Structure 1
Amino acid sequence: MLTQTDVRSTVLSEINTILLDVLDESTEFSGGDELYELGINSLALARLLIQLEAATGVDPFASEEVAVSDIRSVDDLVAAYESARGGSA
């Protein structure tokens, strides 16, 4: 089972993978950064969510407690997956 630290690390790693693919370069970012400011458009976000579901084994949006449209920042995304992992334990 992934710990909260593992979830954060996984989310950050997957974001970096998407950014490398979209921007062709590594970009430094922090938890407060908005996803759109990093260059993650709707298609990249969809790909990111698919990768995160595969990596974490959860879909935080299935319960409808969190909507994809609620996710603005890196920390929002981390919190959604941490909450979903906690709720599935």
Structure 2
Amino acid sequence: MTFFLILVFLIQIGLIFYLRNKMLSERNEFQSKLKPLEEFIIELNSEHQKQSIQLQLSDDLKIKMKEVNVALSKNVFELNYQLLEDLYPKKEI
């Protein structure tokens, strides 16, 4: 009877060591698969930041272009008005 209990105990100890080693190897395998995914996520994040900066610059450029367009339109209108005044002077009554 004691021989049987010792045998069961040794089998359980062996099973514990086997499962522990299997768990460690699976953990290492998981870490090796996870590493490329982490690098990919980091790369995507950096690309996202670059695109966000470009988008912000694009928005700033649109605002600046609108301001320049307004000023340019005003200058063109003033030049046309001045040209018309020079070409057709006012008649005095």
Structure showing greater radius of gyration is 2
TM-score by length of 2: 0.23
TM-score by length of 1: 0.24
- Determine which structure has the larger helix proportion and give its number: 2
Bigger relative contact order, structure 1 or 2 (CA pairs below 8 A, ≥6 apart): 1
